[in-house]
Amino acid sequence: MESLVSLAKRRGFVYPSSEIYGGLNGFFDYGPLGVELKRNIRDCWWRDMVQRRDDIVGLESSIIMHPKVWEASGHVAGFTDPLVDCKASKQRYRADQLFFAAVVVEGSTIGYVSALESENTAGELQTAAEQLKRKKAVQGTLAAVQPKEFTEATAEEIPLIPSPATGEPGSLTPPRAFNMMFETNVGAMRDASSVAYLRPETAQGMFVDFKNVADTTRVKLPFGIAQIGKSFRNEITPRNFIFRSREFEQMEMEYFIHEDADWAQCHEEWIVWCENWLRSIGLPDSHLSRYTHPKEKLAFYSRGTVDIMFKYPFGVQELWGIAARGNYDLTQHANASGKPQDLFDEGTKKKIVPHVIEPAVGVDRIFLAVLAAGYAEEDVTDDKGNVEKRTVLRFSPRIAPVKVAILPLLKNKEQLTNRARALYLKLRRNYAVQYDDGGAIGKRYRRQDEAGTPWCVTIDFETIEKPGDTFTLRERDSMQQKRITETELFALLAEYVY
Ligand code: ATP
């Protein structure tokens, strides 16, 4: 993870926000390469989700919406995380990410240990338990620890659980609900009547505009409304780089189906669609898995939620949530606004409120996943037999920030640079290409490897001296080289960049 974050900074993918002022926790800037990568992720999704389908249309709703939207959706009352304060250190924790265990020796509890959620929470608790036993010089067999979330701690247990910050008990507060919506005021008055929220999800835009879309387009059930845009959550513990931040971007789609439709089948079809889409942008199966939310943990209106999980360097975590939400949202907005959110069903001649399947994913989480999956450090041997390290980002050509680098072999040979420039200008009408004439060719290849550029094209003496106008095409992953014509190069790009 450290090398990834450092490469991201060094090559201009991601910078901490407002870095010259020390940064702002949970906020990030995307640099020149990052912004291209992010845009490509969004564009691929939009093309596949909206433009290449007959049944899905797009939307861009405002970030600040009427505050009643968030009352009706349940966010004002319930969009909370359980917050725990450490009164001694002033640190704050999410109670569902803080774990504790009783330390039990020969059947009696001699104290408690705590640890923050990690890949190895149970192991850390066990080690801490052994240390506590030694410190207290208690004899006997230590039982295996039974980790519990801090949310499950009883009133008697809370004062006995040590704070992860100080290692001492007595300073942790009972968990309380902390609303994650950012508040602001709209207009010149700063009072309760002007309070508004930065949206914590894009989804409500689709519900609130549902009737507008249904009435102004020719959509028929089943149909979807998709949106890409920024969302904001005042996360208690933003962490793991851009995985959990306070300002992030979502790509969400609400797929409206008939109330009598087979929602479970539709749900499964969307999960498969999302998995295939992730493969199409280069995420390997070895890193993808599914997590089905247990029935008892679902919100009352939810029929089922499956998360597509990704193996990040810090553990397996949610990438994409696909939820079957029934007709909860439309019904809530119909009740709160007094405006029916239904459609006329030609079949039964009755009004129906559609149900919804919602695939919701974060652009930044995909960004981090492709960075993590693509990152490799390799030993390579050059022509002279010297072994050196190369860092490479194996991005799929679909999302790579630069598709091809055009490299004239020599900078000061006009015949080479003229041909290279001409090719570069022609390619850049359709593709993100880079022209690089600085330094030895090997150095330039390495530079492009680090940027994740799938192909380098070198204009060399053979190009200008031999018939056929061919270039050297060097492939990033295999490092194989072959000769290629301009027509073949365009055909290659058309096949892989779609
Ligand atoms: P988590 O449990 O990780 O907080 P969530 O279940 O609250 O996520 P949803 O409300 O389902 O997430 O949001 C949909 C998607 O938005 C998530 O799958 C994730 O990709 C993305 N997302 C949510 N919160 C954040 C965040 N703080 N930073 C970056 N992406 C996020």
Does pLDDT of 237 surpass 90?
no
- In our burial notation (b when 16+ CB lie closer than 10 A, e otherwise), range 391-412 reads ebbbbbbbbbbbbbbbbbbeee
Q: Are 175 and 84 in contact (CB under 8 A)?
A: yes
**Would you list the DSSP string of 176-191?**
EEEE-PPEEE-SS--S
Q: Give start-end residues of each CATH 3.40.50.800 domain in the chain.
A: 402-496
75 lines ligand 1 (CB under 6 A): no
The number of beta carbons lying within 10 Å of the beta carbon of residue 129 is 23
Closest CA to 222 of 259, 192, 264: 259
164 lines ligand 1 (CB under 6 A): no
Helices and strands: H and E segment counts in the chain:
14, 26
250 lines ligand 1 (CB under 6 A): yes
pLDDT the model gives residue 315: 92
460 lines ligand 1 (CB under 6 A): no
At 291, is the pLDDT very low, low, confident or very high (cuts 50, 70, 90)? very high
Ligand 1 mean position to 172 CA, how many Å?
27
321 lines ligand 1 (CB under 6 A): yes
**Helix axes of 486-496 and 414-427: crossing angle, nearest 10 degrees:** 30
**Helix axes of 363-374 and 2-10: crossing angle, nearest 10 degrees:** 100
pLDDT the model gives residue 200: 97
Percent of all residues in the chain with a pLDDT value above 70, rounded to a whole number? 100
Ligand 1 mean position to 244 CA, how many Å?
7
pLDDT in tens, 67-76: 999 999 999 9
Closest CA to 498 of 395, 399, 432: 399
Angle of CA points 435, 439, 442, to nearest 5°: 90
Ligand 1 mean position to 347 CA, how many Å?
38
Alpha-carbon distances of 105 from 102, 112, 129, 137, rounded to whole Å: 10, 12, 10, 11
- The arithmetic mean of pLDDT across residues 80-95, rounded, is 95
pLDDT the model gives residue 285: 97
Ligand 1 mean position to 426 CA, how many Å?
41
233 lines ligand 1 (CB under 6 A): yes
Ligand 1 mean position to 320 CA, how many Å?
8
Does pLDDT of 384 surpass 90?
no
For ligand 1, atom 23: residue with the closest CA: 362
For ligand 1, atom 3: residue with the closest CA: 318
Ligand 1 mean position to 250 CA, how many Å?
8
Does pLDDT of 225 surpass 90?
yes
Q: Which CATH architecture has domain 402-496?
A: 3-Layer(aba) Sandwich (3.40)
* Longest distance between any two alpha carbons in the chain, whole Å: 87
Closest CA to 329 of 306, 300, 359, 301: 301
Q: Are 172 and 86 in contact (CB under 8 A)?
A: yes
Q: CA 324 to CA 150: how far, in whole Å? A: 29
Peptide bond into 222 cis (omega under 30): yes
362 lines ligand 1 (CB under 6 A): yes
At 383, is the pLDDT very low, low, confident or very high (cuts 50, 70, 90)? confident
Q: Ligand 1 atom closest to Cα of 246?
A: 27
Q: Are 76 and 70 in contact (CB under 8 A)?
A: yes
Q: Ligand 1 atom closest to Cα of 252?
A: 14
CATH fold, domain 2-77+182-371, is BirA Bifunctional Protein; domain 2 (3.30.930)
Closest CA to 205 of 185, 181, 228, 189: 228
Q: Ligand 1 atom closest to Cα of 320?
A: 18
Handedness of CA 402, 408, 414, 418 (dihedral sign): negative
Which residue reads 């420039």 in tokens?
421
Ligand 1 mean position to 361 CA, how many Å?
7
Please provide residue 391's backbone torsions phi and psi, each rounded to the nearest 5 degrees.
-100, 130
Token pair listed for 40: 């490509």
Token pair listed for 341: 């959110």
pLDDT the model gives residue 310: 98
Q: What is the mean pLDDT of the chain?
A: 95
Residue 24's H or E segment, with its range, is: none
**Which of the listed residues 248, 288, 356 should we mutate to test ligand 1's pocket, taking the one with most ligand atoms within 8 A of CB?**
248
pLDDT the model gives residue 482: 96
pLDDT in tens, 318-329: 999 999 999 999
Q: Ligand 1 atom closest to Cα of 233?
A: 27
Does pLDDT of 111 surpass 80?
yes
Strand partners, 115: 99
pLDDT the model gives residue 118: 87
Ligand 1 mean position to 418 CA, how many Å?
49
- The arithmetic mean of pLDDT across residues 390-419, rounded, is 96
Ligand 1 mean position to 17 CA, how many Å?
20
Predicted TM-score (pTM) of this structure: 0.92
Alpha-carbon distances of 148 from 34, 93, 122, 125, rounded to whole Å: 39, 15, 10, 10
pLDDT in tens, 118-169: 889 999 999 999 999 999 999 999 999 999 999 999 999 999 999 999 999 9
pLDDT in tens, 436-452: 999 999 999 999 999 99
pLDDT the model gives residue 445: 95
pLDDT the model gives residue 270: 98
Q: Give start-end residues of each CATH 3.30.930.10 domain in the chain.
A: 2-77+182-371
Angle of CA points 54, 269, 359, to nearest 5°: 80
Beta-strand relationship, 481-484 and 471-475: antiparallel
366 lines ligand 1 (CB under 6 A): no
For ligand 1, atom 17: residue with the closest CA: 361
Does pLDDT of 341 surpass 90?
yes
97 lines ligand 1 (CB under 6 A): no
For ligand 1, atom 1: residue with the closest CA: 318
Q: CA 143 to CA 38: how far, in whole Å? A: 49
pLDDT in tens, 11-51: 999 999 999 999 999 999 999 999 999 999 999 999 999 99
For ligand 1, atom 15: residue with the closest CA: 361
Does pLDDT of 385 surpass 90?
no
Does pLDDT of 300 surpass 90?
no
241 lines ligand 1 (CB under 6 A): no
Does pLDDT of 222 surpass 90?
yes
Q: CA 31 to CA 101: how far, in whole Å? A: 43
Percent of all residues in the chain with a pLDDT value above 90, rounded to a whole number? 91
Residue type, 412: N
